Structure 1
Amino acid sequence: MSDQRSAIVEGSIPRTLVSLALPLVVQNVVRVAQQVIDTLWIGRLSETAVAAVGLTIPVLGLLFALLVTPFVGTQILVSQRVGADDDAGARRMVVHGVALALVLGTLLGAVTAVGAPRIVRLVGAGPDVAPLAAVYLGTVALGLPLAGASDALEAGFVGQGDSRTSLWINVTTVAVNLVLDPILIFGAGPIPPLGVYGAALATVAGYGGGLCLALAFALGPRMRLTTRHLSFRADDARELLAVGAPITGRQMASQSVRVALVGVVAAAGGAAGLAAYTVGARVASVAVLPSQGLAQAAQSMVGQNVGAEQPDRARRTTRVGVALAAGLLAALGAVQWVAPGAVARLFVPDLSGDGFAFTVQYLTVLVYGYPAIGAVDLLLAGFNGAGRTQTSFVADLLKYWGVRLPVAALALPPTAAVSIFGVTLAPGLDLGMPVVFWAVTGSNVVAAIGVGAYYAHEVRGGLFAPEDADGDAEAAPATD
């Protein structure tokens, strides 16, 4: 497992960080491409089929947020053990991560499959959409144990510094899905056309294909898992939960506010506002792919250097990552700022009228927060690599619930009130859609300033320093 260790704890930080991040960025691009192609195939069935699958997206996003615990916990703890030259402990942690993913995935999948008809009605499915949405959600939910176990193994590879294997696992998952999509949706030879049910089966088969390849790599020379690593240790399980659970909380905090903002936008901007918000969200999700890849890579590098008791390299890794991510997103933002209309039409060619005007405005405003997004992603990767995942949870809780949603609610008309998750947002000041746009960008900037200040404080207090005999971090001189 230590093939990459020497480069991570001794080699050039920028070169190693970029080499680890590139496969992860490509992996994220592959996932986005899969979603687009998947939608194209389903779109050939009917608009109702597209609506049914689209309705399940936030539900599946919530389910996968709950599966983040074993994924992130495995990556961080494996990286720290590899850095400390504890390869046996790293392999054992991978086994614990897979076991937790299987248990969580099975429970979530079973509950969701049984309750799928009721769940889709709760999220607003009409009588024409609900049956198809329930079939799709219930079928995909049964594949959650496969997806969770595959992700945990993938996290083990990324933790040890092998991001290329992670890429191949994801490419296999996507390839199996895309090959089976047209066959199972429309039928071929003895296989009858299965429609939306076939699309769901193709997705589950993709999870299974990815897991098979991940197991083959894990049992082979890339990880060398054996039966002696199957022992259960309560301390390892507790540590995995302690490190991974806050990231699940972080995902829940952000996902819930994103859902809430849709209600605010619908009340404040109508169909035109919703179109602009949707396009802006899609553009931003693509723009931040480099930042997300760098953050995952930095998380592993910081973890290995913390394990190797090299706090200075952990600090420098974070600093270099912040500079790279902020610079890359600033460059992408510059293109978006110069030609927001062209970017909008690239994603939605037929957009016009108020929807187009709002979209151009939103894309322009988003740009000012792009460097901040990159900085926050990498600063939090530094905290995560050190095992301080609670910081990520608190940061996103304050960013989304403390800044973004309250400011965006000012766009609501004085006569309107939106109820989200049982919380009623008081009528706003009727400030219009620009307030929502600036709420998103402003929350990103505020988060960057707050997390940056807290990071500087914690570094001075020995964030990455090894613990002394009493379990306290030894303060180390900060160089950044």
Structure 2
Amino acid sequence: MSDRREAIVDGSIPRTLVGLALPLVAQNVVRVAQQVIDTFWLGRLGETAVAAVGLTIPVLGLLFALLVTPFVGTQILVSQRVGADDDAGARRMVVHGFALAVVVGALVGGAVALGADPIVRLVGAGPDVAPGAALYLGVVALGLPLAGASDALEAGFVGRGDSRASLWINIATVAVNVVLDPFLIFGWWIFPQLGIEGAALATVAGYAAGLLLALGLALGPRMNLSRRHLSLTAADFRELLSVGAPITGQQVVSQSVRVLLVGVVAIAGGAAGLAAYTVGARVASVAVLPSRGLGQAAQSMVGQNVGADRPTRARRTTRVGVAVAAGSLALLGVVQWFVPGPVARIFVPDLAGDGYALTVQYLTILAYGYPAIGAVDLLLAGFNGAGRTRTSFVADLLKYWAVRLPVAALALPATASVSVLGVAVAPGLDWGMPAIFWAVTGSNVVAAVGVGAYYAAAVRGGLFADAAKGVETDTAPPDDADTDSDATADPTD
């Protein structure tokens, strides 16, 4: 761990950032592959099974948003304490994150398992889809404590700069899920044929496998957790909640608007519009994998440099990250802009007619906003690494509720009364699907400009220097701590 810390606080920033990010990008690719394979096996059960599981996706997104608090809080606080050479304090924070995740996962998962049927009906499940959706949601909900605990340990590794451990944990989770899927769904070998319930059990088994591997790595030499780190304090829990809770708010804000947007799309574009919006969302989720991985890596690097009292290096890490993320997504955007049709065919080979035309239009418009997505991801990683996670919450609140949803609503018919998922909204201007497409890209660009301007002002106000002073550790800061001025810049960066 000392070698990783030395690279993060003293080594080449671009090389270290990319080195930390690559395993995180790879683990996100693994997760996307899992979704594709799950859909493949469920598709053999029929369209109803796919629809039932698909209906639970936004609900599960909201549930996992509640588990973001221990995940992000653990990563940021562990990175700051490791940077400050407070390794024992970092390990204790991992234990606090683990405990909080288990409690939150058990409470939320238990409540959802008991109320799965009314929940799926609330989000619009019909009589043919509701039983399967409720069954899948109820079983997966019971696995939330396992998933949350595994994620908290994973966050501890990422905060310490060990992103490879995070990759292995995710590979174990996905591999067990994917291997068990056909056995439990179709009753292969000695297993009973469980259908949708089998898919859910395979998912929970994957969570369990990831947790077992995470515990093995944490108790082993990679982290050396032991009994002496089990002391829990109210102060550490408060700090964890203070840092992590705003990110949960950020996730809830974004997930809730996505659910409402699906309703807007269904009214404005019908089946063809839904197809275009779905394909565009899938393509974008793959395209942004580099910036998501870089954001997680930068968050840990900024946190460690803040803990090491090196605010200049924290600021430069953010700046390098913005350049790399925006540049890489710009290249992907150029490719997508030139060949939107072939890109759409990769995801849905049989797409035709209005659905294909709208998808090509959406992919072309989406490409304009890719560099902005990369810039925002890394700017917010800088704020998060400094412990200013409320900035991420406010940024997404404005991006989704003040820009994206109101502009998208212009696509709705210009009638006196329009209802989206049971919520009455003001009439639109009947601008159709292009209004929704530009609402997504426009909100990304507006967010980049707004967050960029706020970041520049925050840095001038001593963002990273103030964060470094506020890190609570058991050790004094190093004697060679730098300041928030270019006069003391590291020659290695």
> TM-score with structure 1 length normalisation?
0.97
1:477 aligned to 2:485? yes
Distance (whole Å) between structure 1 residues aligned to residue 467 and residue 296 of structure 2: 24
Counterpart position of 1:6: 6
Offset at 1:198? 0.9
Per-residue Cα deviation, 1:79-104 (whole angstroms, up to 9, x for no partner):
00000000010000000000000000
Counterpart position of 2:339: 339
Distance (whole Å) between structure 1 residues aligned to residue 365 and residue 417 of structure 2: 26
Per-residue Cα deviation, 1:28-73 (whole angstroms, up to 9, x for no partner):
0000000100111111112111111111111111100111000000
Counterpart position of 1:243: 243
Distance (whole Å) between structure 1 residues aligned to residue 354 and residue 468 of structure 2: 61
CA contact (8 A) 1:184 1:192 kept: yes
Offset at 1:429? 1.1
CA contact (8 A) 1:120 1:134 kept: yes
Name the CA shift for 1:417/1:333 in 2 (closer, same or farther; >3 Å).
farther
Counterpart position of 1:393: 393
CA contact (8 A) 1:243 1:388 kept: yes
Counterpart position of 2:217: 217
Name the CA shift for 1:449/1:34 in 2 (closer, same or farther; >3 Å).
same
CA contact (8 A) 2:310 2:468 kept: no
Offset at 1:120? 1.2
**3-state DSSP class of the match of 1:4?**
helix
The residue type paired with residue 226 of structure 2 is T
Offset at 1:468? 8.9
Superposition pairs of residues 70-469 of structure 1, within 5 angstroms = 70-415=70-415, 417-420=417-420, 424-466=424-466
Distance (whole Å) between structure 1 residues aligned to residue 205 and residue 418 of structure 2: 40
The residue type paired with residue 395 of structure 1 is A
CA contact (8 A) 1:99 1:149 kept: yes
Per-residue Cα deviation, 1:365-398 (whole angstroms, up to 9, x for no partner):
1111000000000000000000000000000000
Distance (whole Å) between structure 1 residues aligned to residue 466 and residue 414 of structure 2: 54
Distance (whole Å) between structure 2 residues aligned to residue 366 and residue 451 of structure 1: 20
Distance (whole Å) between structure 1 residues aligned to residue 191 and residue 470 of structure 2: 65
RMSD, aligned CA: 1.7
Name the CA shift for 1:421/1:412 in 2 (closer, same or farther; >3 Å).
closer
- Aligned length, in residue pairs: 478
Offset at 1:419? 3.9
432-441 vs 100-109, which moves further: 432-441
> TM-score with structure 2 length normalisation?
0.94
**3-state DSSP class of the match of 1:424?**
strand
The residue type paired with residue 329 of structure 1 is L
Per-residue Cα deviation, 1:321-359 (whole angstroms, up to 9, x for no partner):
000000000000111001001111111111111111111
The residue type paired with residue 484 of structure 2 is A
CA contact (8 A) 2:311 2:468 kept: no
Unpaired runs of 5+ in structure 2? 472-481
**3-state DSSP class of the match of 1:465?**
helix
CA contact (8 A) 2:310 2:483 kept: no
Unpaired runs of 5+ in structure 1? none
Distance (whole Å) between structure 2 residues aligned to residue 282 and residue 323 of structure 1: 24
**3-state DSSP class of the match of 1:232?**
coil
Query: Aligned residues: percent identity?
Result: 79
462-471 vs 445-454, which moves further: 462-471
Name the CA shift for 1:420/1:231 in 2 (closer, same or farther; >3 Å).
farther
Distance (whole Å) between structure 1 residues aligned to residue 47 and residue 446 of structure 2: 40
Name the CA shift for 1:333/1:469 in 2 (closer, same or farther; >3 Å).
closer
Distance (whole Å) between structure 2 residues aligned to residue 347 and residue 189 of structure 1: 32
